[in-house]
């Protein structure tokens, strides 16, 4: 009993010292919940062609499909020129292929005597046309090669003199088969009204020039 007493006293002293000098531990901190990263906003990019597409957060670009529009139809306004009250004889029709365009030339000469009293370029009108075509004055069908057509009508022009002899001895149907001008056919020569149909391999408008010495009507059809 005597030996056990000092051991108990030492144990009590140790326990008392621990209770007075130790700081109380604070509450166990709670774990902070993980914050989900905000969803990335799409990044907009514009191509050089002006098309706008969105790039998502993964960096991939959605595929956009564009459909090409059909080409607009070629619309050519009717054109008129020349001089009113002119009477001329057709003497030549020529065709030629040039760099970027095809050409047809109608050449005239003044009859002697001239009932109109003066020469020049007869009054004309040129416009787009559609088949079927007929010959004037017989109304017989007229076939012209081409995918697009242009009609030229000249008032005060003819390929015959007053005795009924031809002043134009060339062909009434020319088939050059050029890049644009495929064929040209005379559609009529009656009562001083001369008409031709030009068949083209593609729709295109025309450019007209009035030239003199000799008097010529020049019509160009561009390749594009």
- Read off the pLDDT of residues 140-168 as tens digits, 9 standing for 90 and up: 999 999 999 999 999 999 999 999 999 99
Q: What is the pLDDT along the chain (224 residues), one digit of tens a residue?
A: 444 444 433 444 433 444 433 333 334 344 444 333 343 333 333 333 232 233 344 444 444 444 555 555 678 999 999 999 999 999 999 999 999 999 999 999 999 888 878 899 999 999 999 999 999 999 999 999 999 999 999 999 999 999 999 999 999 999 999 999 999 999 999 999 999 999 999 999 999 999 999 999 999 999 97
- pLDDT at residue number 71: 52
Strands (E), the chain: 43-46, 52-55, 79-81, 88-98, 101-109, 123-129, 133-134, 141-142, 148-155, 157-158, 173-174, 181-190, 193-200, 206-211, 215-222
pLDDT digits (tens, 9 = 90+) for 17-43: 444 333 333 343 444 443 333 433 333
Fold of the 79-222 domain: Immunoglobulin-like (2.60.40)
Distance CA 69, CA 29 (A): 68
Q: What is the pTM of this model?
A: 0.68
- Any idea where the domains of the chain sit in the sequence? 79-222
């Amino acid at each position: 009993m005597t030996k056990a007493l000092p051991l108990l006293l030492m144990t009590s002293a140790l326990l008392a010292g621990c209770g007075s000098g130790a700081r109380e531990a604070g509450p166990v901190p709670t774990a902070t919940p993980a914050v989900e990263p905000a969803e990335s906003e799409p990044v907009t990019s514009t191509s050089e062609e002006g098309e706008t597409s969105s790039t998502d957060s993964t960096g991939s670009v959605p595929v956009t499909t564009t459909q090409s529009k059909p080409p607009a139809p070629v619309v050519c306004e009717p054109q008129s020129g020349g001089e009113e009250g002119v009477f001329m004889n057709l003497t030549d029709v020529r065709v030629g292929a040039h760099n970027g365009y095809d050409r047809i030339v109608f050449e005239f000469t003044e009859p002697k005597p001239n009932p109109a009293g003066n020469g020049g370029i007869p009054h004309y009108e040129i416009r787009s046309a559609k088949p079927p075509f007929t010959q004037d004055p017989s109304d017989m069908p007229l076939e012209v090669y081409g995918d697009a057509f242009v009609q030229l009508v000249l008032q005060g022009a003819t390929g015959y003199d007053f005795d009924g002899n031809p002043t134009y001895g060339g062909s009434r149907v020319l088939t050059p088969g050029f890049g644009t001008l495929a064929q040209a056919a005379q559609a009529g020569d009656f009562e001083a009204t001369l008409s031709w149909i030009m068949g083209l391999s593609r729709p295109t408008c025309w450019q007209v020039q009035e030239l003199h010495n000799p008097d010529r009507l020049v019509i160009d059809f561009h390749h594009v």
